[in-house]
Amino acid sequence: MNMAKPLVFVVEDDPSLGTLFSDVMQDMGLDTQLIRDGRLANQQLDTAVPDMVLLDLHLPHVSGLEILNRIRSDSRLEKTRVAMITADAVRVKEAQGKADLILIKPIGYFDLRDMVAKLLPEHALPR
C-alpha cells in the first residue's frame, strides 16, 4: 500500500452532495478536492494529475462529457480513472466506453465503496 494518499477530484455542482461524496472518499482514506464547476475542473486538471475523477455529467460552463473527453485525450492523465455520475439515465449513454464506470444517482454508500474497490484496487479499504 502506497503511503501517499491517492487524489480524487469530486466534480459536482450540488454543494451538499459534493461535500457528502468528499466526506465518504476522505473516510475511505483518499485525498479529495471538491470542484463545483466545469471550467474550474479544467483549470485544475492543467496542473494536477488526480488518480480518480468523480465526474458529474451536468455542470456549469463546461459539461462533464467535455471534461471526460479532455482527460481521455491528455496523455498526462492517462492513468486517471473516471467515474461518471449523473441523474440523467438517458444522456449518460454518451459517456459509455469512455468512462471507467457509470453511476446513476442516487448513489449509495456501498456503491461508492464498490467504485473505489474497482477503480483504485490498491487503495480499497477492507469492508
Partner 1 sequence: MVMDDTRPSLIRLKRNPTIFTFSLGYLGQVITFGAVYFLVARLGFLIPFNGQLSVLVWPATGLAFAVLTRSGIRYWPGAALGALLVALSNQYSIPLLIGFVAAHTLEPLVGAYVLRRHTHFRSSLEKVNDVLALVIIGAFLSALLGASVGTLAIRLSPEGVNRIYSYVWWEWWAGHTISIVSIAPVVLTWYANRRMNWTVNQWIEAGIGLVGLVLISAVVFLQFSPSGNYPLGHAVFPFLLWFALRFGPREVASASLVTLIIGIWGTATGTGPFSRSNPDLNVLLLLSFVLSVILTALIVSSVLAQLRRAREALRQNNAQLEARVTARTAELSQANNLLQQNIIERDQIHGELVHARDQALDALRLKSQILANISHDARTPLNVIMLRTEMMQVGRYGAITDKQKETLDGISLNARELLTFINNLLDEAQYDTKKLRPVPVEFKPHDWLKQSVDAMRPLAEQKHLQLMFRVAEDMPSTLNNDPEWLRKILNNLLSNAIKFTAKGHVCINVNKVDANHWLLMIEDSGMGIPDEALPHIFEAFWQGDGSVTRDTNRGVGLGLSIVKRLTRILGGEIVVESQVGQGSIFKVTLPFEMKKEADEHG
Residues contributing to the site for partner 1 (CB under 8 A): 14, 16-17, 20, 23-24, 27, 87-90, 104-110
Q: Which residues have a Cβ under 8 Å from the Cβ of 126 and sit 6 or more positions away?
A: none
Nearer to partner 1, 77 or 87 (CB): 87
In terms of CB distance, is 20 or 77 closer to partner 1? 20
Bridge partner list, 32: 8
| Shortest distance in whole angstroms from residue 25 CB to partner 1 | 12
Grid coordinates belonging to 20? 457528502
The nearer residue to partner 1, 51 or 56, going by C-beta atoms, is: 56
- CA–CA separation, 94 and 121 (whole Å): 26
Shortest gap between Cβ of 15 and partner 1 (angstroms)?
A: 10
DSSP H or E stretch at residue 20: helix 15-27
Block residue for cell numbers 456549469: 60
Q: Measured from the CB atom, is 20 or 62 closer to partner 1?
A: 20
We find the least distance from the C-beta atom of residue 43 to partner 1, in angstroms, to be 24
CB 118, min distance to partner 1, A:
18
Rounded Cα–Cα distance for residues 87 and 72 (Å): 22
**What 8-state DSSP symbol labels residue 28?**
T
